[in-house]
Structure 1
Amino acid sequence: MTKHHIYWWNLENLFDIENSPRRSEFLNNHLGKELEGWNTTILNQKITNLTAVISKFNNGKGPDLFGVCEVENEYVIELLIDAMSTALDKNYGYVISEGEDKRGIDTALIYDKTKYGPEQQTFSLRIIKRNTTRDLFQVHINTANGNKLVCVLNHWPSRSGGELESEPFRIMVAENLSYWIERIYEEQGDNANIILMGDFNDNPYNKSITEYLMAINNKALVKSNRVRLKYFYNVMHRFLDAQIGTFVFGNEYNMLDQFMISKSILSELPFNLSTAEIIAYPELTSGSYQKPVKFGRPNSSTFNDKGFSDHLPIKIVLNEKDVAV
């Protein structure tokens, strides 16, 4: 039995430095004063803080697969991977979706190159509302046993402007993702092993998730052969009454970061879900609501160079039978 330790984390604004030559003129102008003071020293401190936490993942062995969002470009991902590889004595690779988000933040998947590969097949689906938002990013991971995991990374439109006012944008992305999933099943077959991961900016009970993406908390319905619809099992429902959230707004817990798995994984063909966890190390949270300790930006009153991110990481472990199917 092979174990796959899979993590997701919104890294909170892992930007390249202010006025970086690697950033387009449009983005440099658009970001304006948002990155004022975000220099090499601050960026390196952010990388150091993140790496200190990541190095504790999987009992100090590090992640096998690691989905992230709010990363600007290959340069900052490579900084993070170099730090991770040094701290954990591992050889990590990555794939990134360089989209056209108006803030220049993207999603990426980091993977242990000794465990997966050699090549990862990727696809991106661009989502357009009034402005381009983050791509849906699909990555095919090949295991040493000859099985395939299809990972789809998500960072849905934010709740900026109000939860209800912005909800139609997330519903739109959910509908696009549902269409995308149908195409995956057409290409890969009904037993495709699919993991949806990301910051969905909605909770597991919001209708964008339950009614449009069809990710639910009913294992029997997900596994049923009598329904035409392709439901997903939302792994994060179990934490809704746990007095903790991956994102805390005021005194409200939110489970915005989620893993969802396809019928084949729930049916143990050949992967099965072993455990799920919200990572809440003492240094990552503060206060009675266990609010994530954010890093922020130097031009903000909430800047904290000892912080990490305004989201908590999440984890699942999949067991894989050691025979390809």
Structure 2
Amino acid sequence: MSVEMHIQRSNVSILFLENYPLINSMRLHHLKFGWWNVSLSPPRSKSKGNPENYQTVCNVLIDTLTTHELSVLAICEVSSADVNEIERCLEGTPFKIQSFDHDVGQTRYDTAVIYNSLSVEISHIEDLKRFPRDQVIKIGQVIQVVDLREKDIFKLVLCHWPSRVNTSGESRRYLAAEGLYHATSDMMRNNEHIIVMGDFNSSPYDRELLDGLKATRCHEAVRKHPTELFYNPFWRALSPKEIYNYTMKDKKHFPSGSHRYKDPYGEYWHTFDQIIFSGNFIGSSVWHLNESTATALSTDLLISSILDKSSIIDHLPVVCEIIKHP
């Protein structure tokens, strides 16, 4: 074999391993998760599903799934009809989609999960809800995720909490947070691995997440009380990625977080989409959060779409990675 051929084959091997790190024996076993509010069919609103919007959403989905090597990408504001269209876009790939959309009371659950069928399998466990004064509050949907390589099991809770548009939203979100903490307390005491993700319509510092769900930013507190506290890495997303100086004096937009809309207090960017972890991911089990990967995906295409008033996109996808290490 010539030296040139040997180098070419070596380069191909390196490229293959870089593109498929799960089979690279030099890299720790990992799984990547994501969440995105795709804005196609919000509950109680007219569907925005049309060929142009489906193409836009599918382009982002495929790019996000492949570029970031996601095993699981949960989405919300989708209907069963939207899921059928997305399923067509996924044909010929290892990615499958399962809809969890259905009516509940005067509203509906509006979620679906796209997953790599070569990496994980998923199944629906239960819907969590509360009924204060004959109202229905959607707490979340519990999905079981099984890692096909290690056979480890994770509980994934998908949340789309009440909007901030109505004044009743805050109290309803707090009830959802309290209900979710109560529903997951036994799981945490049993050392189950829980990942809560969603569009909470709340910032990490709001009382529903900080007090109701007990999702904190403090590593030391979580390490000391891993069966009582959740860890929220998306506190780090509150500030813009860019640090201001005089060279930015003409810059108009400073994206941060995952969602852009002007609230009554004048803020434009908000960290409403988050992925939150049970305490055992912070040092008390073989699975660990790789916190540097927890971020909102602010590509030029996504940011330009959010700033374009004619685009349906108003949320950024958020992603994270967990790694197995004894």
* Coarse TM-score class (shorter-chain normalised): 0.7 to 0.9
Cα deviation, residue 105, structure 1: 5.1
- Residue 234 of structure 1: aligned partner: 232
> Unpaired segments of 5 or more residues in structure 2?
1-27, 241-254
Match of 1:143 among 133, 141, 147: 147
Cα deviation, residue 78, structure 1: 2.9
Is 1:100–1:133's contact at 8 Å kept on the other side of the alignment? no
- Residue 7 of structure 1: aligned partner: 34
- What amino acid is the match of 1:166? G
Matched, 1:81 2:102: no
Give me the identity figure in percent.
20
Is 1:54–1:84's contact at 8 Å kept on the other side of the alignment? no
Give the structure-1-normalised TM-score: 0.77
Secondary structure of the corresponding residue to residue 137 of structure 1: strand
Give the structure-2-normalised TM-score: 0.76
- Quote the Cα distance in structure 2 between the aligned partners of 1:132 and 1:157: 11
Alignment of 1:91-170 (within 5 A): 91-100=95-104, 102-104=106-108, 106-117=110-121, 120-129=123-132, 131-144=135-148, 145-162=150-167, 165-170=168-173
1:258-310 residue CA offsets vs partner (Å, 9 max, x unmatched): 11101111116222112211111111114xxxx8257xxxxxxx5x3xx3521
Label 1:179 to 1:157 Cα distance change in 2 as closer, same or farther (>3 A).
same
- Quote the Cα distance in structure 2 between the aligned partners of 1:233 and 1:107: 23
Cα deviation, residue 173, structure 1: 0.6
What is the number of residues matched between the two proteins?
277
Cα deviation, residue 234, structure 1: 0.5
Is 1:97–1:124's contact at 8 Å kept on the other side of the alignment? no
> Unpaired segments of 5 or more residues in structure 1?
16-26, 295-301
RMSD of the alignment, in Å? 2.6
- Quote the Cα distance in structure 1 between the aligned partners of 2:201 and 2:105: 16
- Residue 265 of structure 1: aligned partner: 281
- Quote the Cα distance in structure 1 between the aligned partners of 2:76 and 2:197: 10
Cα deviation, residue 104, structure 1: 4.0
Secondary structure of the corresponding residue to residue 159 of structure 1: coil
1:230-273 residue CA offsets vs partner (Å, 9 max, x unmatched): 11010100111225121122242210001110111111622211
After TM superposition, which residue ranges in structure 1, 4 or more long, deviate above 4 angstroms?
none
Is 2:231–2:277's contact at 8 Å kept on the other side of the alignment? yes
Is 2:83–2:97's contact at 8 Å kept on the other side of the alignment? no
Cα deviation, residue 85, structure 1: 3.8
Label 1:97 to 1:126 Cα distance change in 2 as closer, same or farther (>3 A).
farther
- What amino acid is the match of 1:219? H
Label 1:205 to 1:169 Cα distance change in 2 as closer, same or farther (>3 A).
same
- Quote the Cα distance in structure 2 between the aligned partners of 1:214 and 1:201: 16
- Residue 63 of structure 2: aligned partner: 56
Cα deviation, residue 185, structure 1: 3.5
Is 1:175–1:213's contact at 8 Å kept on the other side of the alignment? yes
Label 1:293 to 1:66 Cα distance change in 2 as closer, same or farther (>3 A).
farther
- What amino acid is the match of 1:230? E
Where relative contact order (Cα < 8 A, 6+ residues apart) is larger, the structure is 1
Label 1:43 to 1:175 Cα distance change in 2 as closer, same or farther (>3 A).
same
Which of structures 1 and 2 has the bigger CA Rg? 2
Secondary structure of the corresponding residue to residue 71 of structure 1: coil
